[in-house]
Chains A and B, each alone.
Chain A
Amino acid sequence: MYIYDEYDQQLLNERVAQFKGQMERYLDGKIAEDEFLPLRLQNGIYVQRYAPMLRVAIPYGALNTAQLRALAKVARDYDKGYAHFSTRQNLQFNWPKLEECPQILADLAEVQMHAVQTSGNCIRNTTTDEYAGVIAEEVTDPRPYCEIIRQWSTFHPEFAFLPRKFKIAVNAVPGADRAAIQMHDVGVNIVRNDAGDIGYRILVGGGLGRTPILGEEICSFLPEEDLLTYLDAIIRVYNQFGRRDNKYKARIKILTKALGIERMRELVDAEFDRIRDGAGKLTQEELQRVKKHFTDPAYRELQNNPAELEAAKAESPAFARWLGRNVRAHKKAGYAVVTLTLKQIGTPPGDVTAEQMDAVADLADKYSFGELRSTHQQNLVLADVEQSQLFALWQEAKALGLATPTLGLLTDMICCPGGDFCALANAKSIPVAEAIQARFDDLDYLYDLGEIDLNISGCMNACGHHHVGHIGVLGVDKKGEEFYQISLGGNSGGNHTEEASLGKILGPSFAREQMPDVIARILDFYVAKRSEGESFLEAYRRIGHAAYKEAVYGPAN
């Protein structure tokens, strides 16, 4: 992974000192509340329902074990002993003291971590595929490009006060969308053209929130060295012309819709033409410098499916089940990619204790070259595990509650912190997730249902990505009471880009206690109507929205 040089470290240390000073001035009453707001946001601090929340950046999901142990220490020393992985691969602490945040950030800077631009109206943490660098399908490893974007976006002088937040995601698997790039302000698809050159297909104007829109193509092939100047051009157009009068209409998706993609492209191209060959143009030297940080670890020469693995599979059906569900093929023979699920029943999705973090760090040191990744589905990945070690790893992970074999199934839900923590939420989301997990805890049934994305957001801001869940749940407020609206048919793209879609609202909302029954009605209908081997999403698309509506609400009068 990327290791800071003296410049990176110095910049981060200076940032820590800057924010310490800003906090002191704020606590002395020398910065007004509304003027401190963007300063704390750009250092990751929200003021939540009960306490401040600190969102620490995990750039494109990459972590080493020293960093994870430092995060565990923060959870223990400054918080209540746990933390929460978010849907943008970051980590959130829910109970830090505001005045202690500068010291937390100083501690994290020692392990090259920060909370820079994890919030606020600026360019946010770039996200990518959690399997980057270890799967054979990718065009090239997207992480060096993400790191280059990270550096370019960090303290960008021109774009610290954009109309609204700005999120970039990078995918490098052809025909797939492994980072939900169509749902981002800018989606970068790394591609190879007919001549074999690396470049990018660029999407613009995607986003969830209260106006969900899939991004549109603004550039079909951008040469490799033009990445940063092109991003400069897009964001410069947005900074100048994005709406600032209404925060709900301020994202670049609204500007793109208002102008139309053709006009947007003209404006961006006009800007880009004037800067593309300037000093901001990326160099091959820089690409190579950053790529050197993402070389393969010292893999051994091994065979696939070693005898130990086959024997363990035969002996333990539970292990075989986990292997089939939570373990993925690796580009290197004899290795595997393991997902540790943070979806234990009774625990909010994405939550992890300090003890679990330390234990996962030990596992990563022991089995996966001391590195791991966080995922936008709120799980953790050990990317380089020897297949002969999988059984030993499974036993340890199981003891830690991190081997629930449900990756991609109904109960591997995406869920925002909701009204239990978040000041924006209209409704709680965690109790809904827990009630659904408790109701559908039979593994055979979950396996029979197959892959289902169930995504829960506590409000319109859609942190739980409800628009792109096959089943989406949105918390709404009706005269002070919490209700839940269901949508069906959303899809984030995943392994088939062309299938991305936004969910359609099913009908009137439900009370919280009705939710497990309502989900059961939807699932029962699917099970009754599906054809052989037909997935939930396929069946929904074939049978149609109206039939599901009737199954849930009864026949229309």
Chain B
Amino acid sequence: MAQLIKNGQLIQDSAWQLVEDSAEATSGSLISLGRWQSEREALLPAAQAGDIGLYLESDQTADLIGDDASSFPIIAINFPKFADGRGYSAARLLRERHGYKGELRAVGDVLIDQLFFMKRCGFDSYALRDDQELEVALAAFSTFTACYQNDVADPRPLFRRRA
């Protein structure tokens, strides 16, 4: 079971699991984008009730789910390899463009030294790879006290905040 940090706290939570497209989507299921696209009408009530979430692969861009994102209580974005940076754009666009307010979880090859960037791009929960040290991970969120760019956490770039 992956170690989970959510909103800056360690959480014991294995509720959300990716299910095969052929398996029944029950409470706590994360479903693929393909399944959502083909079974949208049938799955919409469960999503809106907070029972099923969405699982995006790293090659699936945010616009493929678009404003439907807000139907879900949780969206997980997979990082198949930590060096695959597509998930940062997906997260940011879900938050900034598609108005997604629910839980945004980084899953897969999630390492300590990515957390600060992930948080800035709008993630609020992180299923860390099993070997990562949680105490070090928690400290990583306060690596920097200021940032040059606008991001999800603060829409003002530093040049709009400088006195």
A residues whose Cβ falls under 8 Å from a Cβ of B: 5, 7, 10-11, 14-15, 18, 21-22, 25, 30-31, 35, 38-39, 121, 151-152, 154-163, 228, 236, 239-240, 244, 274, 278-280, 282-283, 285-286, 289
Contact = CB atoms under 8 A, between A and B. Distances in A.
Contacts, number: 104
Contacts of A14: 143-145
Interface in B120-163: 120-121, 133, 136, 143-151, 155-160, 162
A364 to B, nearest CB: 29
A503 B58 CA distance: 39
A161 B144 contact: no
A157 B89 contact: no
A6 to B, nearest CB: 9
Nearest to B92: A158
Contacts of A239: 85-86, 88-89
Given A152-B148, A161-B82, A161-B83, A25 B136 contact: yes
Most buried by A among B89, B92, B133, B149: B149
20 contacts: A7-B158, A11-B144, A14-B145, A22-B113, A38-B82, A154-B148, A156-B148, A157-B116, A158-B85, A159-B85, A161-B114, A162-B85, A228-B157, A239-B85, A239-B86, A240-B89, A280-B149, A280-B150, A280-B157, A283-B159
A7 B145 CA distance: 9
A286 B85 contact: no
- The binding surface of chain B is classed by DSSP as loop
Contacts of A5: 162
B67 interface: no
Interface of B: 61, 82-86, 88-90, 92, 97, 111, 113-114, 116-117, 120-121, 133, 136, 143-151, 155-160, 162
A240 B83 contact: no
A228 B160 CA distance: 14
Nearest to B97: A274
Given A35-B113, A278-B155, A279-B155, 20 more contacts: A7-B162, A11-B144, A11-B147, A14-B145, A18-B144, A35-B82, A151-B158, A151-B159, A155-B117, A155-B144, A157-B92, A157-B120, A157-B147, A157-B149, A158-B85, A158-B117, A236-B89, A282-B159, A286-B159, A286-B162
A10 B162 CA distance: 13
Nearest to B151: A157
A237 to B, nearest CB: 9
Residue of B85, B92, B145, B162 with most partner-chain A CB within 10 A: B85
A369 to B, nearest CB: 27
Given A22-B113, A25-B136, A289-B159, A155 B147 contact: yes
Given A154-B148, A155-B147, A157-B149, A289 B85 contact: no
Contacts of A7: 146, 158, 162
Contacts of B146: 7, 10-11
Given A157-B88, A283-B160, A121 B83 contact: yes
Given A14-B144, A39-B113, A289-B159, A30 B133 contact: yes
A158 B113 contact: no
The 5 closest A-B pairs by CB, nearest first: A161-B85, A157-B120, A286-B159, A158-B88, A157-B117
Contacts of A152: 148-149, 157
Contacts of A286: 159-160, 162
B148 to A, nearest CB: 5
Nearest to A228: B157
Contacts of A25: 136
Contact of A161 (B84, B120, B159): B84
Contacts of A155: 117, 144, 147-149
Contacts of B160: 279, 283, 286
Contacts of A161: 82-85, 88, 114
A161 B88 CA distance: 9
A240 B116 CA distance: 20
Contacts of B113: 22, 31, 35, 39
Contacts of B147: 11, 155, 157
A158 B89 contact: yes
Contacts of B148: 11, 151-152, 154-156
A160 B117 contact: yes
Interface centre among B61, B89, B111, B117 (most CB of A within 10 A): B89
